[in-house]
Amino acid sequence: MGILRKIKQKAKRITQLRKGIKYKEQSVVKKSPVEMKKEILSTDELAIEKAKFSYPEVGRLPRPMPQDLPYQYDRDRIVLQVRDPWWIHAYWEVSNATLERLRNELKDEFYNRAKRVLRVYDVSRIVFNGQNAHRFFDIQINEYTNNWYIDTGGAGRSWCVDLGFLLADGRFITIVRSNTVYTPLEGPSWITDEEWMIPEDMFARLYGMGFGLGRSSPVGKAWQERVKKALFSGALASPGMASMASPVKKIPKEKKFWLAVDCELIVYGATEPDAKVTVQDRPINLRQDGTFTLRFALPNGKQIIPVKAVSSDNIQERTITPIVTRETK
């Protein structure tokens, strides 16, 4: 009973972890990989899983290997990564020492009125000094969260994020500041000036004429239209790693109840080990003890199966002919 409760607790913690919610602020959660996966695996995978985890004994290790990655590394850090032109992802952690310091400084506020907040700054085309962002917006988070997907609302801009406390009086205290990231454009650039180049080594090889870096005539309108059409004619499904995700997918359709049935025929027998045996005039091999087994896919229709054995001295012979008919209603 106790074990069941433990498993349920661990399962709850796992789902919370997966949602990026911290279960307890400072605990380092250790659980075995097998337990973590139990909820998720089907029986098939579990069978494979078990086989994989049967490691041979390799000798005693002076220190046991930890079973899982640490929950955190006890440092102050927030990292931004770009997911696509509109969304960025942030993960963070705060060290125990820093939390302690903040707790002492803010005292009451820490527990009651200070809100944990991600402050997202638009720092496009500036050198950010903490005050000069074009604008910012806040996202309130709770103390158990350790990562977040942020909808920046627009493509092609630079972002920086502070993890901090927003106090009741409106003051904002930065705990830690992230790196700056740049989200890509969501369409063709508006800049159409051209710059051309030949690599140095190639230029050196060219005989006589110079190519210079001139400016060609502006791009034809028709070509721009053509390019735009190619862009927005729909995204392709990802090829990805072919061995795992087939581009030649099964077209998903409603799963109807199904049944598949087929028949096979096993023809087996025995004779002197040194006899020669033919089935339907084809010679077959005998086992050492003179027995044989043949297995055939059995289609609809009649199969006439003469089995002939001839003694090793070619003097005697026997034939038995099973006749098998299959039909399917």
Partner 1 sequence: MHKGYLCLILHGHLPYVRHPEHEDFLEEDWLYEAITETYIPLILIFEKLVEEKIDFRLTITLSPTLVSMLCDHLLQERYLRHINKLIELAHREIERNSWQPHFQSLAIMYLNQFCKARETFEKYNRNLTLAFKKFQDLGKIEIITSTATHGYLPLMEICRESVRAQVKVAVSHYQSIFGKKPKGIWLPECGYQPGQDEILKEAGLKYFFADSHGVLHGTPRPKYGVFAPVYCKGTGVACFGRDLESSKQVWSSIEGYPGDYNYREFYRDIGFDLEYDYIRPYIHPDGVRINTGIKYHRITGTTDHKEPYIPEWAREKAAEHAGNFMFNRQKQIECLCDFMHKKPIIVSPYDAELFGHWWYEGVMWLDFLIRKIVFDQDEIRLITASQYLEENPRNQVITPSLSSWGWKGYSEMWLQGANDWIYRHLHTASERMAELVKIFPNTDGLLKRALNQALRELLLAQSSDWAFIMGTGTHTSYAVRRTKEHLLRFTRLYEDIKSNSIDQDWLAEIEYKDNIFPEIDYRVHQ
Site for partner 1 in 231-270 (CB under 8 A): 231, 233, 235-251, 253, 258, 260, 264
Task: Write the binding mask 181 to 200 for partner 1: x where contact by CB under 8 A, - elsewhere.
Answer: xxxxxxxxxxxxxxxxxxx-
Contact between 170 and partner 1 by CB under 8 A: the answer reads no
Shortest separation between residue 6's beta carbon and partner 1, angstroms:
21
Binding positions for partner 1, 11-40, rule CB under 8 A: 17-18, 33, 37, 40
Shortest separation between residue 322's beta carbon and partner 1, angstroms:
13
Contact between 209 and partner 1 by CB under 8 A: the answer reads no
Per CB under 8 A, the list member of 24, 27, 203, 268 interacting with partner 1 is: 203
Task: Please state, as a whole number, how many other Cβ atoms lie within 10 Å of the Cβ of residue 183.
Answer: 20
68/317 with CB nearer partner 1:
68
| CB distance 281 to 266 below 8 Å | no
Binding positions for partner 1, 138-157, rule CB under 8 A: 147
172 membership: H or E segment, kind and range: strand 172-177
Shortest separation between residue 40's beta carbon and partner 1, angstroms:
7
Q: Transcribe 78-97 into DSSP letters.
A: EEEEE-SSSEEEEEEE--HH
| CB distance 120 to 151 below 8 Å | no
| CB distance 256 to 250 below 8 Å | no
Contact between 180 and partner 1 by CB under 8 A: the answer reads no
Distance CA 267, CA 282 (A): 14
Contact between 322 and partner 1 by CB under 8 A: the answer reads no
Shortest separation between residue 177's beta carbon and partner 1, angstroms:
14
Per CB under 8 A, the list member of 11, 21, 29, 79 interacting with partner 1 is: 79
Contact between 295 and partner 1 by CB under 8 A: the answer reads yes
3-class DSSP assignment, residue 32? coil
Residue from 255, 275, 253 nearest 319 by CA: 275
Contact between 229 and partner 1 by CB under 8 A: the answer reads no
Distance CA 192, CA 199 (A): 22
Contact between 219 and partner 1 by CB under 8 A: the answer reads yes
Task: Please state, as a whole number, how many other Cβ atoms lie within 10 Å of the Cβ of residue 269.
Answer: 16
Q: Classify residue 210 by burial, with Cβ atoms within 10 Å: 0-12, 13-18, 19+.
A: exposed
